[in-house]
């Protein structure tokens, strides 16, 4: 039997009557479905609920998530799980911000991670472990990498309070010294950067700012404050880094890859840099409804609305209007941000058959009555290529595709062994070509320097759309794309996307 998740009328909140009416409507339709057919929460032929399902898949997707949801937080970003995090936190240097203590960068140990607790409005999702911190690796104050941690999502009462483990990090999980956080590796292009790793324990993709109507195990209302958490990290960063940076890279993996796009304009508005780049690792924004990359239905629009993202100020203009109308697609955000900063390289890293992106797609499709509930690797790769073709219309977008199903590279040791041939491609002696450029080397071209360029890479036979089959090929429409250094100030926004 299925629990209904967010079905009772919520307590008063800033979303007011509209949210209460929506919850009441979901409950009424869901009960009709339960009475009509055991094990289902809707009638497939119900026009009203069918439309609701298309607009509000996050309220109905719990059946599929029961199978894969618990894997999200554990496999989302390759940085370990919460079971091991306690010991890591206890052994790690920490500092708490206060009126008397500013935790200055100059006072941190070079290359050693420090957890900085900002206090204020920051917190993790549960009241049992609310304390939030971001992680800093001290390096050159003129070079900065801001990286948003993955860690899954918790979107309603069921996903937050019933699934165990929860499909999101609910407490701090420090990043070990591996991948682009490995300060001892000469192959790490960010070895000497100061790195601010924005922890994700709010389950809201770093963009939420809301109090839910349901309570946690201690009886306190669940709060998702990813926006406040990231904002506190940004406030500390701008107070401690040089006023004009040489290099600025904004990145993230999985849920953090989405956050990097949402937060890039805010970061670029507060931190000026000679060279800048955005690195999105293992989440391109392939969701049911925009599968043809032509704007279709937005299955993620309701999710962002319910997280409170519309009220944070991260979205402006037509993006804000779409968020308020629950029609905002992640791809729309990617497009607008790339157009705002044409002198910044936006680099996407994805596996051709990323297992987690496929699993998330299936879950949303199954319960929102959209095609794709049984999406296979070949179909996902088609959807991914179509979306990348959309992004590729922006002159500042480049892509690195890896054969296989790996999810997240930047936070794991695979960052050094992967090339376009696979996650351990650099260990292979066969099939050497331009596509065998190691991923770490390719990422090392970011941000692009004078006289240099970064080029899209993929390993396989170049095929036009009508000939696509399997995942061994590469989209001919993406081949040969390169972004060259621009003399224009990279973090100055263009009016073209206003």
User: Rounded CA gap, 156 and 213, in Å?
Assistant: 10
Looking at residue 164, its pLDDT comes to 74
Whether the Cβ atoms of residue 196 and residue 237 lie closer than 8 Å to each other: yes
Give me the pLDDT at residue 295, please: 43
**Both tokens assigned to 34:** 């339960």
Tokens of 58: 């996050």
| pLDDT for res 367 | 63
What CA–CA distance (Å, rounded) separates 50 from 45? 7
| Residue pair 82/98 in contact by the 8 Å Cβ criterion | no
Residue in the structure block whose two tokens are 């292009």 = 189
Using DSSP's 3-state secondary structure scheme, residue 280 falls into strand
Per-residue pLDDT at 365: 82
Cα(391)–Cα(374) distance, integer angstroms: 26
The per-residue pLDDT for range 135-158, each reduced to its tens digit, is: 999 999 999 999 999 998 898 888
Please name every residue paired with 431 in a beta bridge, in sequence order, or none if there are none: none
Positions of the chain with pLDDT lower than 50, given as ranges: 1-68, 70-71, 73-74, 291-297, 498
pLDDT score for 59 = 44
Please give the Cα distance from 86 to 109 (Å, whole number): 21
Among 55, 199, 24, 227, smallest CA distance to 115 is for 199
pLDDT for position 266: 97
**DSSP conformation letters of 32-100:** HHHHHSTT-SS-TT-HHHHHHHHH-HHHHTHHHHHHHHHHHHHHSSSS--HHHHHHHHHTSEEEE--SS
Specify whether the CB–CB gap between 262 and 307 falls below 8 A: no
Length of the chain, in residues: 498
Considering the entire predicted model, what is its pTM?
Answer: 0.85
**How far is the C-alpha of 69 from the C-alpha of 126, rounded, in Å?**
18
What is the dihedral angle through the alpha carbons of 386, 330, 188, 408, rounded to the nearest 10 degrees? -80
pLDDT number for residue 32: 30
Give the H/E segment covering residue 276.
strand 272-281
């Amino acid at each position: 039997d299925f629990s209904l998740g967010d079905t009772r009328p919520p307590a008063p909140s800033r979303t007011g009557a509209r949210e209460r009416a929506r919850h009441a409507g979901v409950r009424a339709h869901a009960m009709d479905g339960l009475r009509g057919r055991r094990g289902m929460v809707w009638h497939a032929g119900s026009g009203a609920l069918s439309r609701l399902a298309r607009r509000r898949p996050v309220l109905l997707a719990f059946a599929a998530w029961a199978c894969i949801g618990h894997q999200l937080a554990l496999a989302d970003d390759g940085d370990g799980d919460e079971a091991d995090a306690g010991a890591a936190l206890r052994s790690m240097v920490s500092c708490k911000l206060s009126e008397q203590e500013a935790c200055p960068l100059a006072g941190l140990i070079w290359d050693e991670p420090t957890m900085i607790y900002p206090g204020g409005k920051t917190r993790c999702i549960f009241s049992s472990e609310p304390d939030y911190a971001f992680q800093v690796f001290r390096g050159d104050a003129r070079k900065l990498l801001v990286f948003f941690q993955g860690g899954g999502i918790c979107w309603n009462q069921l996903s937050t309070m019933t699934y165990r483990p929860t499909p999101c990090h609910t407490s701090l999980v420090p990043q070990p010294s591996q991948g682009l956080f490995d300060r001892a590796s000469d192959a790490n292009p960010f070895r000497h950067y100061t790195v601010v790793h924005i922890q994700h324990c709010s389950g809201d993709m770093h963009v939420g700012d809301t109090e839910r109507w349901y309570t946690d195990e201690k009886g306190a209302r669940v709060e998702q404050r990813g926006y406040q958490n990231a904002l506190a990290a940004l406030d500390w960063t701008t107070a401690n880094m040089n006023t004009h940076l040489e290099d600025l890279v904004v990145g993230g993996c999985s849920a953090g890859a989405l956050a990097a796009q949402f937060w890039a304009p805010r970061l670029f508005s507060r931190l000026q840099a000679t060279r800048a780049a955005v690195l999105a690792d293992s989440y391109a924004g392939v969701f049911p409804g925009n599968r043809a990359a032509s704007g279709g239905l937005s299955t993620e629009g309701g999710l962002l609305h319910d997280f409170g993202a519309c009220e944070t100020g991260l979205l402006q203009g037509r993006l804000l209007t779409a968020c308020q109308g629950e029609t905002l697609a992640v791809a729309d955000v990617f497009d607008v941000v790339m157009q705002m900063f044409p002198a910044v390289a936006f680099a996407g890293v994805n596996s051709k058959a990323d297992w987690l992106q496929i699993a998330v797609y299936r879950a949303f499709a199954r319960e929102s009555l959209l095609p794709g509930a049984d999406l296979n690797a070949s179909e996902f790769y088609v959807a991914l290529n179509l979306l990348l073709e959309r992004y590729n219309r922006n002159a500042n977008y480049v892509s690195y595709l890896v054969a296989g199903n790996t999810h997240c590279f930047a936070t794991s040791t695979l960052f050094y062994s992967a090339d376009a041939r696979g996650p351990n491609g650099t260990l292979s002696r066969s099939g050497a070509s331009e596509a065998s450029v190691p991923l770490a080397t390719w990422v090392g071209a970011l941000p692009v320097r004078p006289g240099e360029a970064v080029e899209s890479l993929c390993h396989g036979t170049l095929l036009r759309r009508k000939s696509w089959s399997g995942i061994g090929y590469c989209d001919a429409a993406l081949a040969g794309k390169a972004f060259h250094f621009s003399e224009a100030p990279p973090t100055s926004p263009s009016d073209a996307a206003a």
